Amino acid sequence: MKKPADAGSKAVDQYIGKVPEPARATLKKLRQIILSVVPPETVELISYRIPSYKYKGYLIGFAAFAKHCSLFPGAITEAFKDDLKNFEISKGTIRFPPDKPPSAALLKKIIKARIAQNESK
């Protein structure tokens, strides 16, 4: 997704800009990692009031809350439960302290798996 800022990207900038530290820095890193992996046709937007990415359907989203941050990769968390054993997970959510996100390598692996899922539909 290497295109000029559009309305969705500006909305995501605004969302991240309102988040207090240390979560803001974490969300910026998550966004950079996501954008480094997704195909150019991916759309960045605010959906359900959180930054989200769509490519052939919903791909992933993220958000900051009072005491934690979350990634919303859809119902793929079960496939990565061993990799995510140090995080609180549910069917489509990965929760973590604002200053301890999943590694970039793990996040890239999850995103690539989601891309493959969406492409196989």
The enclosing domain of 93 has a CATH number of 3.90.1150.200
Counting every residue, how long is the chain? 121
Number of domains composing the chain: 1
Angle in degrees, 0-180, between the axes of helices 23-37 and 104-119, rounded to the nearest 10: 50
Residue 48 is assigned to a structural domain of this protein? yes
Going residue by residue through the chain (121 aa), what tens digit of pLDDT does each one get? 444 457 788 999 999 999 999 999 999 999 999 999 999 999 999 999 999 999 999 999 999 999 999 999 998 998 999 999 999 999 899 999 999 999 999 999 999 999 999 999 8
Q: Which of 106, 92, 42 is nearest to 63 (CA)?
A: 92
Residue 115 is assigned to a structural domain of this protein? yes
User: What gap in Å lies between CA 40 and CA 47, rounded to an integer?
Assistant: 19
Residue 2 is assigned to a structural domain of this protein? no
Residues 102/103/107/113 CA torsion (nearest 10 deg): -110
List the domain range (segments joined by +) for residue 50: 7-119
What pLDDT does 121 receive?
A: 85
Cα separations in angstroms, 30 against 44, 103, 120: 13, 10, 25
What pLDDT does 1 receive?
A: 45
For residue 87, give both structure tokens: 């995080």
For residue 27, give both structure tokens: 């969300």
Q: Where are the alpha helices (DSSP H) in the chain?
A: 7-18, 23-37, 104-119
Record the pTM.
0.91
